[in-house]
Amino acid sequence: MRKPIIGITASYSEDERIWMKPAYVDAVRAAGGIACLLSRPTDPAELAALAADLDGLIFAGGDDIDPSRYGESVQHPEVVVTPERDVFELALFAAYRLTGRPILGICRGIQLINVALGGTLHQHIEGHRQMPVLGSIPVQTVQITPATRLAGLCARDGTLAVNTFHHQAVARLGEGLVVSARAGDGVIEAVELPPELHPFLLGVQWHPEQLFETCSAAHGIFSGFVRACRAQA
């Protein structure tokens, strides 16, 4: 059986560069997949081709989603948006979800999933940015919801130490989503769709790709995701 091909959405910089931190690619490769960078196309035919060819899809971290996408105006000076990325990723999510193939959202990715399913975001929260502490160092504890997909992947249903680099978070849940982890202050840290609604759709607010080498739970998230993708290859 061939290795699964997994698309990862890229970030856009102010100097018109398209980029991605290598940790995403490294984690996918270590788990047995082949990663490729995705950006820009919004033509329905191109989106359909991507949806048909990819065995899995990761919505990666990056700038904030434009609040207009969930019916609000910008309410905080730290909100930084990339409208072009929103257009692409929301269209890609709509096309790819129909395939029933695995989807993983990380940081911005969990927020993208929530907005795509009709949810909203808290535009700014305090206390969830560990900078300048390295992402390989967990600084926050989350409580995993028992009997969820996340609990199975992490092989635990109690607390988990994670890193944290976000200033926004899920507010009102998108359609069908259930909460699979919360921080101690109640902030939603992970969501998923039940298996009857999608075979594998999970979003986490932290960055497991930066913890992959040292944290068994982060390893479990990527290994389980790539394993699900391999079943499509």
Residue range 122-131, pLDDT digits in tens: 999 998 999 8
**What does the pLDDT look like over 141-192, one tens digit per residue?**
999 999 999 999 999 879 999 999 999 999 999 999 999 999 999 999 999 9
| Pairing outcome for strands 140-144 and 56-59 | unpaired
Give dist(CA 66, CA 123) in Å, integer.
Answer: 10
- How much is the pLDDT for 15? 83
Known catalytic residues are 107, 207, 209
- Whole-structure pTM value: 0.97
- How much is the pLDDT for 132? 83
CATH code of 51's domain:
3.40.50.880
Q: Is the pLDDT of residue 1 over 90?
A: no
pLDDT-derived band at 42, boundaries 50, 70, 90:
confident
Name the packing angle between helices 108-116 and 83-97 (round to 10°). 60
Question: Which residues contact residue 121 at a Cβ distance below 8 angstroms, ignoring those fewer than 6 apart?
Answer: 65, 67, 70, 111, 114, 115, 168, 169, 170, 171
Question: Which residues contact residue 69 at a Cβ distance below 8 angstroms, ignoring those fewer than 6 apart?
Answer: 86, 90, 115
**What does the pLDDT look like over 54-71, one tens digit per residue?**
999 999 999 999 999 999
Percent of all residues in the chain with a pLDDT value above 90, rounded to a whole number: 87
- How much is the pLDDT for 78? 94
Domain count, the chain: 1
- How much is the pLDDT for 52? 93
pLDDT-derived band at 219, boundaries 50, 70, 90:
very high
Q: Are the CB atoms for 36 and 6 separated by under 8 Å? A: yes
Domain that holds residue 162: 5-230
Q: Is the pLDDT of residue 18 over 80?
A: yes
Which has the closest alpha carbon to 9: 34, 46, 33, 36?
Answer: 36
